[in-house]
Structure formats: C-alpha cells, structure tokens
Chains A and B, each alone.
Chain A
Amino acid sequence: NAGVTQTPKFQVLKTGQSMTLQCAQDMNHNSMYWYRQDPGMGLRLIYYSASEGTTDKGEVPNGYNVSRLNKREFSLRLESAAPSQTSVYFCASSVGRSTYEQYFGPGTRLTVT
C-alpha cells in the first residue's frame, strides 16, 4: 500500500497563476483533509471531507477550493495564487472524522513569487 500520495512535491508559481494539488489514498478511508504548515503556526486545516460527497471549511479556507473526486481522491485548487499561500501543504486521511488517527502524505512545498 502506498498510503497517502501527493503530487507535485515541489511547485513554484507566479502571483495570479492557478494550480491543483492532488491527493490520493489507498486505505479505503472515509475522511480526508488538507492542511497548510507555516513556520511557528503549526498545522492549520484548510478544508476537509468527512465522507465522499461532502466538504467543509476549516480554519483557513480563503483562496482555496476543494473537490472530493471519489473516495480515494481529494484535490486542492488555488485559483489565483498569492505570496501568502507560500507554504507546505499536507493531505491526510482517516477512517472517520476527529477520533481516528490521521495518515499524512509527504507534502507539497509551494512557493508563490
């Protein structure tokens, strides 16, 4: 099992460009999450999907959109990238929401210039 995979691993964007971060899990998990990690800020939840067909905003959703394509895949889209979105993005999945351990992908390091 690959666990949680994320693509790309690194990306550089110019301000105003758009891109989609891809995430897939092969553990048959119901819940999936997108976090961003900035120095000194810990992990902040952007969006999550408690189950296939549902998505909810987290702590910092502005400037992002998500799609739960199917049970395996959960993508994060930046429509118009801004320098403030420079961060490391982690996707995670769990059997269920909140009381189950989360499995994280390796992360995507995004720089917006």
Chain B
Amino acid sequence: GQQVMQIPQYQHVQEGEDFTTYCNSSTTLSNIQWYKQRPGGHPVFLIQLVKSGEVKKQKRLTFQFGEAKKNSSLHITATQTTDVGTYFCFTGANSKLTFGKGITLSVRP
C-alpha cells in the first residue's frame, strides 16, 4: 500500500492567504522530502526533514516533521502566484521509495 498520503489533491486559494498541506503515514518514517513541480515542469527538491519535530523555513515556506515522525506539514505564508504548482512529499522509509500523490495549488490573483 501507499506509504504516504496527501489529501486533498487540489486546493485553490486567494493570493495573500495562507496555505497548509499535510503528508501522512501509518508507519514511522525515517525521513520526509518535499518537492515542487511547476505546471509543465519537472519536480524540484525543496527540503528534507529527518529529526522528530524538526522545523525548517525557506522564506515564506515552513516545513515540519511530526513528533512521532508519521506526518509532515508544509505551510506557505501569504501565497503568491509564483507558489502555483504541485507539491509532493517523498519518503525512502522501509526500503520503499514512495511519492505521495501530491497537492496541486492554484492561486487566484
């Protein structure tokens, strides 16, 4: 079965609103990576989280690894049109290399 779940698959926000999405697993994960894919493009690595409760920031993006290492969140503050794309989580847990199905974010200007 799928290692990591991302629900919903689509989200629409107004420019300037905050956005949060989650990546969930039923098993403990050794690591979580996040990727972004712009429309028509290829996935690009954003960040990796390894430690329980770890928080990392990249400008308006905040990534967190859950205390139990079974979930991760991506929060975007004050979304911009440049944030449009699909965000995927990925894990190499338990020797299985698995991407979540992704969440596609659209931003209304």
Contact = CB atoms under 8 A, between A and B. Distances in A.
Interface of A: 33, 35, 40-45, 48, 58-59, 90, 92, 97-99, 101-107
A45 B98 contact: yes
Given A48-B97, A98-B31, A98-B97, A43 B45 contact: no
Given A41-B101, A97-B97, A104-B42, 8 more contacts: A42-B99, A43-B99, A45-B99, A59-B98, A97-B92, A102-B33, A102-B43, A105-B42
B30 A40 contact: no
Contacts of A44: 99
A42 B101 CA distance: 4
Summarize B's interface: helix, strand, loop or mixed. loop
Interface of B: 6, 9, 30-31, 33, 35, 41-45, 48, 50, 88, 90, 92, 95, 97-102
Nearest to B10: A40
Nearest to A91: B42
6 tightest A-B CB contacts, nearest first: A98-B92, A42-B101, A101-B45, A104-B42, A43-B99, A42-B99
